[in-house]
A and B are shown apart, each in its own frame.
Chain A
Amino acid sequence: MAHEQSGGRHGPVLQHGRDPWAGASATAAELRVSAAEGRTGLGAGHDGLTARAAGLAAAAALAGVLTSWEDRLAAIRDECDHLSGTLRQATAHLGEVDTATAGAVAR
């Protein structure tokens, strides 16, 4: 599948195969689901905890910890989403303009 697109002796060597990009896109989509599920499960495990543990400073601190990690997991989820989309695009546009894809990925 891989084929060389040359940049000559001095330019960068381009070497692409479609399958790795498509496979990577699918895996990134699965990771998006995993991050979302993890985030939901984590939040659900704390339902009512702060109320039941009223008066404990640790419970209040835990609520802050929970929110911060829900945010982080949301950021990871969105990153996976973005990566899945860009990697899919890379499959579609492969061989057209490599640098444009690089720009999209690095955005």
Chain B
Amino acid sequence: MTGTALTWQRLRDLTPADFEAAGNRWHAVSNRAAADAVRVGQALTAPLRETQRGEAATAAVRRLERLRRNYEYVRTECGLVRTTLNGLATDLAEPQRRLRQALDEAAELRFTVHPDGSVAYPASTVDTLLGSQDTPAGRADGRGALPLDLAPGPAVRPLNPHADKAQALADSIARAVRAAVEIDARYARTLHGLRAAKGLDVTQAVLADVRRDAADVRATARDYLVGLIPYEGSPAERKAWWDALPDEQRQEFLRIAPDLIGDLDGIPATIRDQANRTYLPILMAELASRGDPESQTKLEALRLIQDRLAQPGGLPMYLLDIGAEGNGRAVVAYGNPDTSRHVATYVPGLGTKLDAEFVEDTMVRAEDTALGAQDIDPSSASIIWLGYDAPLSADVASTGDADRGAPAYNSFMSGLTATNEAGNPHFTAIGHSYGSLTVGTAARQSGGIPGVDDIILLGSPGVGVQKAEDLGVGRDHVFVGAAENDPVTHLPAKDEALLAGPGAVIYGDVYDKNNDDLYFGKDPSSEAFGAQRFKTDPGPMPVMELGGFQAHSQYFTPGLDSESASNIARVVGGTSHRVTEEERR
């Protein structure tokens, strides 16, 4: 037995639910403090501030403000105590279950478990080559270490057939106790930090403690919180889970583990937004503590996002995901996608990552789309979905990123269908550049892109299918914007590129008779593909007019290509019959 006071008897007799019951009391105090904080503000401070002037009123208001901060302190910290106690109860239940199972087995076999955890077994008679032999009773000491850590057993083993079983049970008992001791120590440390500061002042140091406490509780009780989430379920099932969750548990997630639900498909947009706004400063602090340039790039982008979220006016923004994994994650909606009749979700392409350009350019494209669609039907929202790693340069582009992104995109869209309350909403998937391959790949998965009625492919290097009807929405619902001077829409097929090298853009015709095969399949703007090609501005010539990739980057922007931006808005806003048509290639 270890030196702790937690014995197997105590673990056996423990009632973990006691901690849950105590946790409910902490929750009640936390709730009461939340209500009292509001009363201080509304029934005390506000009327005094509005109607009274003079030193007495100023002094009273200052003192009431201190009281209100006390209630905020109580609300937050007592909420943390509650989560910690729930986590403790949940985490202790598992070793207790394993212990009780071992004790039951020992009792069935008529073994005796001694106070020190050793297991005694009775004498037994066994048949051997030498005839029947009596083997003596014995006792096995528990070993808390995991099986792989154990030294090999003694060379001469007792013959008593009970010995192995007794040893296994003693080991199980010791391991269960050791696990409980570790859990106990972890939670004790966390609880220790949750003691109230003395007095009534809520100083900066106290507030810093509160932030540390929240991070500590998040780490300690993470398994418990993760265990509550139905990750295996469909987004619709997660939505049902969230709807059925008692309010106090929802608050627990929002306050303590916002990162666990901020990116969970099936959780309503307003909740994801609330969770991600809480998580944003936490993620920023984490990135700030890392020194590498990549983290600094992401941090800069998040700062810019934070500024935009705080700006008054403009379209309401919903932060549906943020993350530092891979090249960074950011999913932002302009307009509420759960209450809008029309929702577009735009997958960005080549070179997109969580950086300043993403915020200042890529996100603005989604905003422009929302504004355009709202001119047609005010009940429209538009989302920029950076929920995958796009390839960062053309020479590393393969279908791998699209293959990995497609299931994530479909899960996100499935979440939207579960949370949208507009009744028979109209969804549009937009893929730009490499993002069109991701959309095409998503459409090819079984069942297609959940909920999607129309697909728009912009500046596409091919979408992995040969015909528009293969995208699952009917060829009349596949729209293509391909600017004449957009070099990406003229990339040669992959095998042609291999044969001809970089010059294949120019010599493409030699290898591809109809010149309608692109890097990732049939040119979506071609006759053979059969989609609806809409008018776009041709854009500046890449070489002659020094346009570079400009023609590839202006489809969404009314100031640069109003024809294309209007056509996108028409499709997204549900009036696709009004797009201006362009002849196919």
Interface residues of A (CB under 8 A from B): 2, 12-17, 20-21, 23-24, 27-28, 30-31, 34-35, 37-38, 41-42, 44-46, 49, 52-58, 60-62, 64-65, 68-69, 71-73, 75-76, 79-80, 83, 86-87, 90, 98-99, 101-102, 105-106
24 contacts between A and B (CB under 8 A): A12-B53, A13-B54, A15-B52, A15-B53, A20-B47, A20-B52, A21-B52, A45-B24, A54-B5, A54-B10, A55-B7, A56-B184, A62-B85, A64-B192, A69-B78, A69-B195, A72-B74, A75-B199, A76-B67, A79-B70, A79-B200, A90-B60, A98-B55, A101-B56
Bound CA span A15–B62, Å = 17
A65 to chain B, nearest CB (A): 5
Interface residues of B (CB under 8 A from A): 4-7, 10, 14-15, 18-19, 21-22, 24-26, 28-29, 32-33, 36, 39-40, 43-44, 47-48, 51-60, 62-64, 67, 70-71, 74, 77-78, 81, 85, 88, 184-185, 187-189, 191-192, 194-200
B313 to chain A, nearest CB (A): 34
Whether A24 contacts B48 by the Cβ 8 Å rule is yes
B77 to chain A, nearest CB (A): 8
Whether A73 contacts B29 by the Cβ 8 Å rule is yes
A75 to chain B, nearest CB (A): 5
CB within 8 A of A58: which of B25, B187, B197?
A: B187
Whether B47 contacts A55 by the Cβ 8 Å rule is no
Bound CA span A60–B19, Å = 12
Whether B67 contacts A55 by the Cβ 8 Å rule is no
CB within 8 A of A12: which of B33, B54, B77, B189?
A: B54
Bound CA span A44–B24, Å = 12
Report whether over half of chain B's contact residues are helix, strand or loop; otherwise say mixed. Answer: helix
Whether B191 contacts A49 by the Cβ 8 Å rule is no
Whether B191 contacts A62 by the Cβ 8 Å rule is yes
Bound CA span A31–B195, Å = 23
Whether A76 contacts B200 by the Cβ 8 Å rule is yes
B87 to chain A, nearest CB (A): 10
Q: 15 extra interchain contacts, Cβ-Cβ under 8 A, other than A2-B51, A57-B184, A69-B81?
A: A24-B44, A27-B44, A34-B32, A35-B36, A38-B33, A42-B28, A52-B15, A53-B19, A56-B10, A57-B185, A61-B191, A64-B192, A72-B197, A75-B199, A101-B55
> What residues of A have a CB within 8 angstroms of the CB of B36 in the complex?
31, 34-35
Bound CA span A34–B22, Å = 19
Contacts A20-B47, A64-B192 given; does A56 touch B6 at CB 8 Å: yes
Best-surrounded residue of A42, A64, A80 (most CB of chain B within 10 A): A42
Bound CA span A56–B25, Å = 20
Whether A56 contacts B67 by the Cβ 8 Å rule is no
B80 to chain A, nearest CB (A): 10
Q: What total of A-B pairs shows CB separation below 8 Å? A: 171
Best-surrounded residue of A23, A30, A62 (most CB of chain B within 10 A): A62
Whether A79 contacts B67 by the Cβ 8 Å rule is yes
Whether B188 contacts A58 by the Cβ 8 Å rule is yes
Best-surrounded residue of B33, B191, B198 (most CB of chain A within 10 A): B191
Question: Lowest 4 A-B CB distances belong to which pairs?
Answer: A45-B25, A102-B55, A15-B53, A57-B188
Bound CA span A83–B437, Å = 67
Bound CA span A21–B60, Å = 10
> What residues of B have a CB within 8 angstroms of the CB of A68 in the complex?
195-196, 198
Whether A105 contacts B56 by the Cβ 8 Å rule is yes
A34 to chain B, nearest CB (A): 6
B50 to A, closest residue via Cβ = A20
Bound CA span A106–B55, Å = 10
A37 to B, closest residue via Cβ = B32
CB within 8 A of B63: which of A44, A99, A106?
A: A106
> What residues of A have a CB within 8 angstroms of the CB of B48 in the complex?
20-21, 24
Whether A105 contacts B47 by the Cβ 8 Å rule is no
Whether B25 contacts A16 by the Cβ 8 Å rule is no
Bound CA span A99–B419, Å = 58
Best-surrounded residue of A21, A34, A56, A90 (most CB of chain B within 10 A): A56
CB within 8 A of A45: which of B22, B39, B197?
A: B22
> What residues of B have a CB within 8 angstroms of the CB of A101 in the complex?
55-56
B198 to chain A, nearest CB (A): 7
Bound CA span A86–B53, Å = 17
Whether B5 contacts A15 by the Cβ 8 Å rule is no
Whether A16 contacts B200 by the Cβ 8 Å rule is no
A1 to chain B, nearest CB (A): 8
> What residues of B have a CB within 8 angstroms of the CB of A45 in the complex?
21-22, 24-26
Contacts A31-B36, A34-B36 given; does A23 touch B55 at CB 8 Å: no
Bound CA span A98–B52, Å = 11
> What residues of A have a CB within 8 angstroms of the CB of B10 in the complex?
54-56
CB within 8 A of B25: which of A2, A42, A71?
A: A42
A57 to chain B, nearest CB (A): 4
> What residues of B have a CB within 8 angstroms of the CB of A24 in the complex?
43-44, 47-48, 60
B68 to chain A, nearest CB (A): 10
CB within 8 A of A65: which of B33, B63, B185, B191?
A: B191
Contacts A57-B188, A76-B200 given; does A20 touch B51 at CB 8 Å: yes
B56 to A, closest residue via Cβ = A101
> What residues of A have a CB within 8 angstroms of the CB of B197 in the complex?
72
Bound CA span A105–B52, Å = 14
Bound CA span A21–B199, Å = 26
